[in-house]
Amino acid sequence: MLTWQQLRDLRPTGLQSAADGWGDVSRHAAAARDRLSNEMLGAIEKSQTSNAADSAAVRLRGLDRNYDYIHIECGLIRTDLDSLTYELMGPQRKLRDALDEAAALDFAVGADGSVSYPPGGQNLISNQPLPGGSATGGSPLLSRPPALTRTPPGFTDTNPHHVKAQAIADQILAALQEARRVDERFSTTLARLKAEPGLSVATATWQDMAADAAAVREVADQYLKNDIPTDKSPAERKAWWTYLTDKEREEYLAAYPDIIGNLDGIPSAVRDAANRDNLQVLIGKLAGADDEASKTKLAGLLSIDKQLSAVPEPGVPPMYLLGIGDHNNGRAIVSFGDPDAARNVSAYVPGLCTKLSEHFATSDIERARATAKSAAFLDHSSASIVWLGYDAPQLPAEQITDDLAVMGTHDAAVGATAYNHFMDGIHVTNQNADPHITAIGHSYGSLTVGLAAQQAGGIPGADDIILVGSPGTEAKTADDLGVGRDHVYVGAAENDPVTMLPNKKEATGVLGGAAVGALGGFVVPVPGGPILGAAEGALEGYILGDAASDPSQIYFGTDPANHAFGAHRFQVGDGPRPFIDGQGPVPAHSNYFDDDPVSAANIAAIVAGQPQLVTSQEPR
């Protein structure tokens, strides 16, 4: 049990020195891990192919995980000790103030925290000084002044020192109780931060570490979290991070990698380091879950983790993890190339049905990788980002309202605001005087990018906008997107039905006609019944709707590939035909980045800031 004497004599420098020692261990582990990954493991995988080399690589990866675990856990211990020091200093100040006041009044403080005071005042009857006594904090029955007799009714006959002594005793007790609560909380947390004998980092270890991180965050909130500028602009966040000391930065990274790693305006290298640590925490957290959503996210996280630890493909810029999270449908922001150092930076927004999953990790991330490789061939100072920072509509959905989400703009509008915050962060952390920034939207993601461009001020820093496989942007013309129509580029494959979705009048006709046709099939029995009736009704409804609508309009406004929109339509392949070529209903919709070399080359030329290399295609 913590005593007031121990609290009085506590030396914060001792705790801080211990914290610094754990911080040193954390840094050394991180440096060892980096050397393993960047030098030893990479050298073996690049230069040797044998069973012995494979065995060595496996063991080095295991050692890499061990160092990573040590780095994170020791960082948590350091943060815990620093937080403990911070929280104990408050009650220690209260205690010392109380002791100073007692000494100034010549009161004595007992070993149990009681405060003794001398005689004082005067007995109203005998005119003698009232006797001294003692006061015990929080215990009125034990701290009453000596009983007095023959006190006339209506008179108060109390030693005036008693009130002061009682206040001092109460303050001593309050300080001690607060310090004991702090001590108990942090003792419990510190007791968690230990590894089993014979360190072997496996899934269960990461699960335990995830719980450790949550425990440290809970006790460190008062010390650290309240100062994180989550409600500030990216520029203000950058300034905040710039003026922190190295020690403060390390503490934030240890306790709150989930916040720092996803904070727009923080340098990309810092976000990458934070998110790599948080990735392990999330893997540990989701490894114990048995619901399908968690399993899907876990598969995506594991795939991203594997890619981060792999030797980079020749010609592909290094991989940065700029965002990661498991909330809602999951979050993941991956860059190939350092967006702070690159002259050319692109950020691609995927569309319908995208979520944190193994498919995202192997498909959408691969699109960013392919774009980065092609752009870097034209200009080595290029970085390509895939941005899953919003909840794209999902199909099939669990609720009818979710099924209708793809037909509305709500998800895109929410995503547009988040995307602009991210792009603002990319713009303010870039080290070039005038970086070339390209916003890319695919499918429903093009609606997100289009809405972002139509917000006040447009997409921060954007010079060019690329829309591929677009169902529209809610913009009437390319001029509405804020970069000038000559800087809006559109790719639309002739066999991509998403770029030719019926506009809302046509869609209303289709739905209404289908409903009437299906009802007719029930009422008047015909071959095929309601199904045939629905199909016939939908066709009739489409024809009627089409006759009453503008042919340049598709579902979300003007067709970006139409001449009325006024954008630069670049050449893409026609792509496979729906069903006929045996690749499903919309195979051409997914071909713009890597499966269509003409389209991929044009996207790379735009991203690399070399529009003279772009080949054009006639607008519709």
Neighbour count for residue 127 (Cβ, 10 Å): 7
Tell me 327's DSSP state.
S
Torsion of CA 348, 354, 357, 361, to 10 degrees: -30
Query: Which is more confidently placed, 538 or 563?
Result: 563
Helix 51-104 to helix 12-35 angle (10° resolution) is 170
Query: Under a CB-based contact definition with an 8 Å cutoff, are residues 348 and 445 in contact?
Result: yes
CA atoms within 13 A on the CB side of 467: 34
The confidence score (pLDDT) of residue 323 equals: 97
The confidence score (pLDDT) of residue 193 equals: 77
Query: Under a CB-based contact definition with an 8 Å cutoff, are residues 61 and 202 in contact?
Result: no
Mind listing the pLDDT tens digit for each residue in 322-366? 999 999 999 999 999 999 999 999 999 999 899 999 999 999 999
Confidence class of residue 542 from pLDDT cuts 50, 70 and 90? very low
Neighbour count for residue 394 (Cβ, 10 Å): 17
Range from 52-56, 289-293, 516-520 carrying the lowest mean pLDDT: 516-520
Helix 504-523 to helix 529-547 angle (10° resolution) is 150
Q: 491 has which bridge partners?
A: 468
Mind listing the pLDDT tens digit for each residue in 470-490? 999 999 999 999 999 999 999
The confidence score (pLDDT) of residue 525 equals: 42
Mind listing the pLDDT tens digit for each residue in 229-258? 999 999 999 999 999 999 889 888 888 899
Q: What gap in Å lies between CA 271 and CA 394, rounded to an integer?
A: 28
Confidence class of residue 47 from pLDDT cuts 50, 70 and 90? low
Confidence class of residue 544 from pLDDT cuts 50, 70 and 90? very low
Query: Under a CB-based contact definition with an 8 Å cutoff, are residues 465 and 488 in contact?
Result: yes
List, in order, residues 6 or more apart from 163 with CB less than 8 Å away: none
Confidence class of residue 390 from pLDDT cuts 50, 70 and 90? very high
Q: What gap in Å lies between CA 499 and CA 312, rounded to an integer?
A: 35
**Residue 94: C-alpha distances to residues 1, 90, 191, 283, 336 (Å):** 19, 7, 28, 43, 53
Q: 115 has which bridge partners?
A: 109, 135
The confidence score (pLDDT) of residue 98 equals: 94
Q: What gap in Å lies between CA 301 and CA 280, rounded to an integer?
A: 9
**Residue 435: C-alpha distances to residues 124, 228, 319, 345, 605 (Å):** 87, 28, 20, 7, 15
Range from 127-131, 264-268, 507-511 carrying the lowest mean pLDDT: 507-511
Mind listing the pLDDT tens digit for each residue in 91-137? 999 999 999 999 999 999 999 999 999 988 777 666 778 888 889 98
**Placement of tokens 């005689």 in the chain:** 119
Token output for 37:
């990954």
Of 210, 209, 255, residue with least CA distance to 228: 255
